Structures are given as C-alpha cells and as structure tokens.
Amino acid sequence: MSGADNVVWLGTPAFPEAARDALADTRLRANLRRATATIRDKRLAVAAELDDWEELRERAAAIKRHTLRHLDHHLLRLEKAVTAAGGTVHWAADAAEANRIVTRLVKATGEREVVKVKSMATQEIGLNEALAEAGIRAYETDLAELIVQLGGDRPSHILVPAIHRGRSEIREIFLREMGDWGRPAPDGLGDDPRDLAEAARLHLREKFLRCKVAVSGANFAAADTGTVVVVESEGNGRMCLTLPDTLITVMGIEKVLPSFADLDVFLQLLPRSSTGERMNPYTSLWTGVTEGDGPTNFHLVLLDNGRTATLADEVGRQALSCIRCSACLNVCPVYERTGGHAYGSVYPGPIGAVLTPQLVGVENASSLPFASTLCGACYDACPVKINIPEVLVHLRAEAVEARRRSRLLPTAEALAMKAAGWVMSSPKRLAAAHRLVALGARLVARDGLIGALPGPLTRWTGTRDTPAPAQESLRGWWRRTKTMNETQGRTTAEEEGRR
C-alpha cells in the first residue's frame, strides 16, 4: 500500500462533494460549533496570560526553520543519542516499510496484541490495518480514539477525534461494541460523561495490565539527548509508556528538535494552543531504556512517507513545522461547518489542506488547497507561525498546473483567461470590450443588478447579486475629467494673465 493510499482515504469524494453532505448534517454542525468555540476561547484566555506569547511563537518558528534546513544532521544526531541510550532506531522510507518494521518487531516478541497511545503517524500509515492482516490486534487507549475505533469510524479532529459524536451516540457504541473488544460496558450505562469515562476506564485497564507491547507516537524528540516526548491529558499514555516490556514509537522525521532545551518553548505553546491549558496533565519523557524502570526494549521508527519530498518545496516545507495542536482547525470557518471527514485525510482542517497534498502529491488531493477562504485566521492562531494561506495559494497554482497537464484539451476557464489576456493586451480592444460589456449589462440588469445568466456563468451568478458595470469605464472617466481639468486650468491661467 502506498503512502498516498494511507494518508488519503480511498473512496472518499473530493472536498466540494463531501462538504456538501456535511453541511446538511445539522447535528454535526452544532457539535462542531460548540466544541471549537469552547476550545478557541480557552486558548485565547491562557495565551493572553503570557506577556511573551508572540516572542515564543517567533522563537518556535525560528527553531523549526533551522531544524528543517539541517534535518539530516539532526536526525543522525538523534539516532546516535537513542542508540547510546540503549534504544534501536529504524528508518522507514514509506508507509509500507514502516508497517513491515512494526509488524516484525511485534511478532518477534511472540505477542498478538498491542496497546496504543494516540499517534497520527500510525493513522497516516494505516498501522492498525497492517497489524490486523498479520493477526495482531491493536487497541486504541485514548478515549476519543477508542470511540472512533469501536464505532468503525474515522477521526475528524487532530485533538478531539470523536468531536463529531454526541453523548447518546457514544453510549450506543459502547453498549454495542465493547464486549467484542474486551470487557463489556456496564449494564444500564447512561450518557453522562462521567459514566462514559468510567466505562472506558474499566474496559481499558485490563488491557494496560495484560499487554506486553505498546505503540506510541511522539510529539517531539531531542536530538542531543535522544529524549522522546509524549503529551496527553488522560493518563493512558503514561500507562502505555511505562507498563509494557516493549515500546515501539513511530515518529515523523519532522518532529525532531535540535536540543532538549528547545522543549522549554514548545511545552509552553502546545498545551495552550491545543487544549487551552497552561500545561498538559501528563508529559512523559524517556531516553532509551533504564534497567528496572519502564520498558526493557525501545524501538524508534523514523518515518519519511513524503516528508523529504515536501522538504524540497521552499514554500510548502513550512507545513512540516506543524506541532499538531489543532489551533488552526478551531478558528477555521470552513472546518467549523464541514468537520474533518470532508477533507478525506487523516489530517483535516487548514493544516491538512496544505500537508496532505504535499505528502501524497497534489494530483492525488487537488481539491484540498481550495478548501479554505484564505481569511488568514489559521496563520494568526498557529503557534509556530506557519503561513498557511501562502502555502494554499502556492499549492492551488500547482493543482491547476497538474490539471492542465493531464488534459488533452484546454478547459473553458483556460480559454476564457487566454481570451481575456488577448483583450487586455491592447488598449483599443479593451476599450471596445468595455463598451460592449456596458451595453450588454444595461440590457440584462434590473435595479442595478445582474441576475442569473445562462451557460457556464450560472454557477457564479446563480448564487450572487452582481452589480451591473458602470456605464462609463475608468479609462473613459479619466480621459473626460483630465480633459476638463486641463481646459479649466488653461482658462484660469488665461484669466490670471489678463489681470
């Protein structure tokens, strides 16, 4: 299976079609509006507490820029430090290779089940499905990921993957599915959040105590010490990272930081930007293996899967700075109305619209760069100052060019643009066009507005009130007023001369 097959869900329609279906789901829109508004307000409040918030953002952006420019150097430093601390580093060029490595490592332990702490990288490569094909069952332990897994669903938010589900839906999923995955839900389970959390806690505890292998992601890794970091809010990560005998971490190569000291910046930015908290309830850091403390075997799988190709794009590479905080999702007017599934990718929202096309190739996700209003709210919210609108415009140009190359004949839009260029390249032709447009507009306009027009213009004019063009063009107005001013100036000068 290719990287493109994994990052983008096969069979998912393009964004415009998927968004149209999502917009018709009023409950989904209500859930998204409440959740994103709550997180957004909390983020603004805790960010305002720091006088140096903007300086932290600048510092984080500078660290990421430096790291990406010297990524090969810092990855080799990380490998050396992890190995010196007793861990083993594996390099995976794509999803298929990463899945083979993890499957082989699990099989080597003799185990047939693993517990997982939330990892977008493993979702990106389809690890759960690959393990299942090898007869290994993976259990998600993050509450929202558990809901998604039990429901046979897909995540729709980076931070809150089950944001599209309501309490009553979660209750039904627990009652229906938990027994097939382990301990069943308690009889008479209600939809109170505390009761649902307790049911999940009981269901997962036996897995934490039984499983000998864990698979994790990584928020950061320090190249100088080999320290890997996972931040989370429920404690499930701490259980996965300390109880099993073998820990396998799958990490995108862009997550490396030059030094342990750099964590000071990112561990202030990440919790405030993601959950609206001053710090994460659980911040787990480990360096290799330590006798008598935690797993006895540690494997770090460094995943490329399109990242090196993205790094080659001088404009688009800034998307690799993302720290997966989801702040851009929570301020995006498009995401708030469509949800994450419409993006057809593990990475939804504004960051998904710029990251996914680069990881899989623009031609395989050509609608995503257009899934934005370009309002810039995502850029303002991003803690590492990724200029998402700039990358979106850059990728739109690439998407248009890719479509042009794939067509034998030019599109109507391309022909129209070529004709417009021909008209505008000549002042005489442009003046004639102005006169024709003004005449035609007066014939079809009513009350100064043009209604729906037939043919290819229907999609535009059918949903907009278009003002009729002015009867006088700018060029005509300029010539007329310039002549009047010059005449008036000469008259004034002559009068002053006679005096």
DSSP 254: G
Can you say whether the dihedral through the CA atoms of 15, 32, 26, 334 is positive or negative? negative
Residue 484 to residue 467: CA distance in whole angstroms: 28
Taking alpha carbons only, the member of 78, 86, 21 closest to residue 294 is 86
Q: What is the pLDDT of residues 131-171, one digit of tens each?
A: 999 999 999 999 999 999 999 999 999 988 998 898 999 99
Q: At what angle do helices 427-444 and 474-498 cross, to 10 degrees?
A: 110
**pLDDT of the chain, 499 residues: tens digit per residue:** 444 445 555 457 889 999 988 899 888 888 889 889 999 999 999 999 999 999 999 999 999 999 999 999 999 999 999 999 999 999 999 999 999 999 999 999 999 999 999 889 999 999 999 999 999 999 999 999 999 999 999 999 998 899 889 899 999 999 999 999 999 999 999 999 999 999 999 999 999 999 999 999 999 999 999 999 999 999 999 999 999 999 999 999 999 999 999 999 999 999 999 999 999 999 999 999 999 999 999 999 999 999 999 999 999 999 999 999 999 999 999 999 999 999 999 999 999 999 999 999 999 899 999 999 999 999 999 999 999 999 999 999 999 888 887 776 777 777 888 898 999 999 889 888 888 877 776 666 667 777 676 666 677 677 777 777 777 778 778 888 887 777 776 666 666 666 6
Report the side by side order of strands in the sheet with 213-216.
88-92, 297-303, 246-252, 213-216, 113-116, 137-140
pTM for the structure as a whole: 0.84
pLDDT at position 479 is 81
